[in-house]
Structure 1
Amino acid sequence: MSVTIGIREENAASVAADLSKILADEFVLYTKTRNAHWNVTGDDFYAKHKFFEDQYEMLDEIMDEVAERIRSINHFAPATLRSYLQLTHLTELSREKNDSHGYIKELLADHDSIIMNLRIKINLFAAEYLDLGSSDFITGLMEKHEKMAWMLRAHLL
């Protein structure tokens, strides 16, 4: 069934491709945050264990929202580990130590990277693809990541 919501199909396809990359980034960051939750060690274990849980729960909601946005413009969301690893711009890092400070720095760098990527896509979606809904949607995502990054950064001061 065709969807007539005022976005040209070629623009919707471009937006869906970019949203798929965003979904992949969110999934990789979610997995890395789960890893921190499961494997953090140190004197601050319990507090950081709970902190990372709060963060991955927020990322879980974000992933669902991104996938649903892709569907709302009549495209299918990627949903395999292989596709996520092919689409993401984030990396999986191996850690020698499982201390909270190291995890926080790593996760913060990923949030900052996602924020910068989203900031670029906001104008692209609005100006080039003429999709103000998706532009507004990823503006909201950027704000969520800015808040999560602030929470991580506060632990490093």
Structure 2
Amino acid sequence: MFDAQKGTSDKQVGSKLRIGIVQARWNENITSTLAAACRAELLRLGVQEQHIRHVLVPGALEVPTALQALAERDEFDALIALGCIIRGETYHFELVANESGAGVTRIALDYQIPVANAIITTENLEQAVARQTEKGVDAARVAVEMANLLEELS
């Protein structure tokens, strides 16, 4: 059921959830904005501040390792991956984008925990700036909705 006053549905109520966030520091000006938007939306959805664990890693390739460490703790209902990969002049962009994305998905499947992947990939800084707030909000909503869905299905 959708609550028009709150702008949420039953699947977007986070009051009982524990959420882990892993943020890459590479392109930190973008990832910090992603994280701030994500945290604000989690709070708006009812997730309690003390139930949000936020960790920083050097870059997108390190995000899956930290997600795995959080998943192994078995205390989170959902995880969120935050990062920003901007295309350069070499193949490195594809490598980082593909490997980090595959790693994030693997954690979700191996540990049967929802992982909202908001590691944004863009052609340039302007595209990253244009997406940073929206993708942070989206990640929070996906994490809460999927945590509630998996709880309902179990």
Same fold, TM-score > 0.5, yes or no: no
Structure ranking higher in strand proportion: 2
What is the TM-score when the length of structure 1 is the normalising length?
0.31
What is the TM-score when the length of structure 2 is the normalising length?
0.31
Structure ranking higher in helix proportion: 1
